[in-house]
Structure 1
Amino acid sequence: MIPLNAPALPATLTLEALARRLDPAALPLVEVHSLDMGYYLVRLHHAGGESRLVDGNGETRRFTGTQWISRALAPLGLTHGILTWAEVTDEMVGLPPSAPMDRDARLAHGTRIAFRTQG
């Protein structure tokens, strides 16, 4: 189990609300979830559970590349995250459906990434 020391956050947050609520001494764990079609979602893991980054209308904020996530989160002090993905190809090749992966397994098997954008 990954220790989550960051204070609890609401279930959904805009980037602006996240900037106001972050505690630099105890940052949440950032999950960058890759979806089919080149979209990425951001989940924040903390002591209170999980939060989703949303736009001003309350819809899940979709990024079209990890560099956009980096440019949004790095200035807030969030320097790294874990890249996870939904496996859509299993059903395409005829494999039986698998049970959804729980949060701890998803984060444990994700790829660690740094939020650093140049240029």
Structure 2
Amino acid sequence: MTTRPDTLENVTQQQLRSMAHQNPPPQVELCSCRAGVYLVHLHDGSKSYQLVDNHQMPLHFHAIEEAKDLLRPLGFTHGTLTFIDDSDEMIGTAMDRVSSEDALKNGTRIGF
């Protein structure tokens, strides 16, 4: 397992619309943070993004369907559901964060 080197850059819904039509489009990650809260992360080559609102605050979804309803009309057809790891929870473990590549490889593929 490699250390997660990526930092998340912010991307708004408007910017996301144009990203959906890139060739290839970024890989969508729905990150389950805690009971019923999901964040949208996108991975495009060496960059990773976090979907934010117009005030640059992360968009929180309370169901996978909410995220799908936003992403599907933009042209995204699938993504990967991942779960936050122990080190992300800041509980004081000495383990390294899971890399984005490992998280996406071991996540659950979902369709929009």
TM-score by length of 1: 0.74
Aligned to 1:103: 100
Q: CA RMSD in A?
A: 2.1
Aligned ranges for residues 19-58 of structure 1 at < 5 Å? 19-58=17-56
> Aligned pair count?
100
Contact 1:15 1:53 (8 Å CA) reproduced: yes
Aligned to 1:18: 16
**Larger CA deviation: 25-34 vs 12-21:** 12-21
Contact 2:21 2:75 (8 Å CA) reproduced: no
Q: Distance in 1 between matches of 2:61 and 2:25?
A: 21
For each residue in 1:35-93, what CA deviation from the matched residue of structure 2 results, as whole angstroms up to 9, or x when unmatched?
113100000100241011001110011100110111000011101000000245xx9xx
Mark the structure with the bigger radius of gyration: 1
Aligned to 2:110: 113
Contact 1:24 1:77 (8 Å CA) reproduced: no
TM-score by length of 2: 0.79
Contact 2:41 2:49 (8 Å CA) reproduced: yes
Report 1 or 2 for greater relative contact order, CA contacts < 8 Å, sequence distance ≥ 6: 2
Q: Distance in 2 between matches of 1:107 and 1:60?
A: 20
Alpha-carbon offset, residue 100 of structure 1: 1.4
Gaps of at least 5 residues in structure 1 are 1-9
